Structure 1
Amino acid sequence: MTSPRIDRTVAAVWRGGADISLCPVSVPALGAGDVLVRVRLATVCGSDRHTVSGRRTQPCPSILGHETVGEIVAIGPGGARSVDGRSMRIGQRVVWSVTLGCGTCDRCRGGVTAKCRTVRKAGHEALDSDWGLSGGYAQHVLLPRGLAIAVVDDELPDKIAAPAACATATVAAVVERAGTLAGRRVAVVGAGMLGLGAVAAAATAGASSVTAIDPSAERRTLAGRFGATDVMASVDADRTHDVLLEFSGASSALQEGLRTLDIQGVAVLAGAVAPDTPIAVDPEMVVRRQLSVLGVHNYEPRHLTAALSFLTHTRDRYPWSELVADPEPLEHVDRLLLAPSGPAPRYSIAP
């Protein structure tokens, strides 16, 4: 199916540091299988805040933003299908994967497309590349053929669906890596957007206890509303857990958390995406307790659909919409990227 041609759009172009300005951007002609969406809502992920603050590097200039809900406005020749095989049509609301693998390298063939040897990423590509219109801080985003796209159910509000594209899908990958949570004692370190999602996932899965650990009293209160059976400001060395899910990125918390794992305990690390102090791992403890220490970075297409399904089924059980602040206009994105964290874990933009 072909659609009316859209030649130009407006995007917040990041040119380094705090230099972000609205600029007209060309919309390339759609190739076979490509999809063009109008951005309805984009949430401000912490990794983008790290980019503008200098903690994280990426091509520049570029259009940031990778937690986005869009409405399909054009589809390239031959049509396009969602990640679950459905034909997509104009007017549908969709979210899409952060990563786009080549599909042919050894990692893609092995099912680890997030670590494709030539991976491209939504909201991370140079403006002058062949996917310059990749970021959500814009009026439109181009979704290339092969990118995992998932249709959003009508009953799921934009504010709940947008984080599925990064935070909630990553949580789905972490929970899958952790294995069975039912009947297990789970500790979640860091009660930000991902940590709160993990608390809810563990509670929904039937964990015998879910302990949320965060120095913020506000976040600990939120964790209780998302299913935590206990909350703490720091790791209690006298507690014992079967599963440790780490989202804070703080080496000290991870160091203490590993010591609380019981026999055949599992630790899944997802928060350490920036350099921090190395930790010391006692190999005897790992051997004698038969511990597993695993890492997750990004996610696979199946986790995107799992995230949407989880949010749909728990939308009335947990206050998901409270995790995203009311949207502001696109021209405010520079301020939101530099602003201190607010009461809600995510700011949002509605172009």
Structure 2
Amino acid sequence: MSNEPAMEKGRVAVMDEPEKLSYREYDLPKPGPGAVLLKVLRSNICGSELHIWRGQHPTKKKGVLGHEMIGEVHSLGEGVDTDFAGEPIKKGDRIVSAYYITCRKCAACREGHFHLCEHAYDFWNQAPEESPHFHGTFASHYYIHPDQYFYKVPDNVSEASAASANCALSQVYFGLDKSGVTYGQTIVIQGAGGLGLNAIAVAKEKGATVIAIDGVEGRLKQAEQFGADHVLNMNDYGSTAERAQAVLDLTGGIGADMAMEVTGVPAAFAEGIHLIRPGGKYVTIGNITPGKMVEFDPGLLTRKSIQIIPVVRYNPWYLYKALKFLSDTQGKYPFDDMMDAEFSIDEIKLALDKSAAREVTRASIVMERP
């Protein structure tokens, strides 16, 4: 008999097909040079997961899920002694990572568009059977590859707050910076889910006046807690024209300087240009499923000379900016309360189903502790 110790194992949740989930068990891999193996502490359900879960993603119809997370260092590969900000790291430190690869060599990366890296999902798209197995964060462990940016979580930032940093907060921060929104301007945030609430907080810190639009009263109450100056329940207005008039009334008849769409609803995108003043800007983040069509008024867009700024992912250093934002604004915004439901690793399907049905705003999967 061998005297070698048994290999430590971990679990991975696998979507076998849309809305069907199973679990696999694998030996924990030893991280290679430049890599890190994390023990997942918490992983949130993001809108992207819901698109995949409902079969709406153009290519991903099965495999691992999960990307918005916080973990702690289980083991470090050769040569890894700091994070991507030069902060020393060791086993047990809390870490968040960008959920995609930044190769720095492809055509997009060579132009500085790291968020558009052609190899972004090389590993996330791999089947769990392929080593190192732990490609997604709906799992007990997660493998960070050498080309993934990762950062140590500041001590004063809670696990619950940090878990949203590597997707929701970083992405809207990136989008708002692209919009150039600044002090004294007004921005409409279409959607008060996870992305919307994070966007409200960042926009407020930039000195903007925020108008939040949603159709769920509970979300609008949360929007107010995150600093929204005005909230509009879209159910109180019967048409785009009525909602546009409500925004005009709140902006002295001018319209918002900017708007951000984080709903994932094509009709919201079509409506957005009606809410913005001539010469304004429109950031769209939520609509990520190709092939979902909507009627659109290109003549109005041209007449108003509105600049549309589509945003997918974020440049990876925005994750560091997001962590600093959370650290610097601790206690000012209720980030810890954003997650309104927690589930165990065995309840991932339930969490996905309840999120898809909008029974919860933001669900978090809290992994088992040893």
> TM-score, length-normalised on structure 1?
0.91
1:19 equivalent to 2:35? Answer no
Mapping 1:126-137, distance limit 5 Å: 126-130=127-131, 132-137=133-138
| Aligned position for 2:67 | 66
Give the 3 Å change call, closer, same or farther, for CA 344–121 of structure 1 in structure 2.
farther
Query: Amino acid of the residue matched to residue 314 of structure 1?
Result: T
**Alpha-carbon shift at residue 287 of structure 1 (Å):** 4.5
Mapping 1:1-351, distance limit 5 Å: 7-57=8-58, 59=60, 61-120=62-121, 123-130=124-131, 132-207=133-208, 209-234=209-234, 236-238=243-245, 239=248, 240-274=255-289, 275-283=291-299, 285-339=300-354, 340-351=357-368
Q: Secondary structure at the match of 1:22?
A: strand
In 1, distance between residues paired with 2:339 and 2:59? 25
Say if 2:273 and 2:306, in contact at 8 Å, map to a contact too. no
In 2, distance between residues paired with 1:39 and 1:137? 8
Give the 3 Å change call, closer, same or farther, for CA 124–45 of structure 1 in structure 2.
farther
Give the 3 Å change call, closer, same or farther, for CA 349–99 of structure 1 in structure 2.
same
Say if 2:263 and 2:287, in contact at 8 Å, map to a contact too. yes
Say if 2:52 and 2:61, in contact at 8 Å, map to a contact too. no
Cα displacement string for residues 30-77 of structure 1 (whole angstroms, at most 9, x for unaligned residues): 211110111111111122122222122555652211011100010011
In 1, distance between residues paired with 2:326 and 2:308? 27
Give the 3 Å change call, closer, same or farther, for CA 293–57 of structure 1 in structure 2.
closer
Q: Secondary structure at the match of 2:269?
A: helix
> TM-score, length-normalised on structure 2?
0.87
Give the 3 Å change call, closer, same or farther, for CA 260–10 of structure 1 in structure 2.
closer
Say if 2:43 and 2:137, in contact at 8 Å, map to a contact too. yes
Q: Secondary structure at the match of 2:17?
A: coil
In 2, distance between residues paired with 1:150 and 1:263? 40
Query: Amino acid of the residue matched to residue 341 of structure 1?
Result: R
In 1, distance between residues paired with 2:347 and 2:196? 27
5+ long unaligned stretches in structure 1: none
Give the 3 Å change call, closer, same or farther, for CA 6–243 of structure 1 in structure 2.
farther
User: What is the root-mean-square deviation of aligned Cα atoms in Å?
Assistant: 2.2
Q: Secondary structure at the match of 1:294?
A: strand
In 2, distance between residues paired with 1:144 and 1:189? 35
Identity within the alignment, % = 26
In 2, distance between residues paired with 1:47 and 1:41? 17
Say if 1:248 and 1:272, in contact at 8 Å, map to a contact too. yes
Cα displacement string for residues 71-104 of structure 1 (whole angstroms, at most 9, x for unaligned residues): 0010011224322122321111011102102221
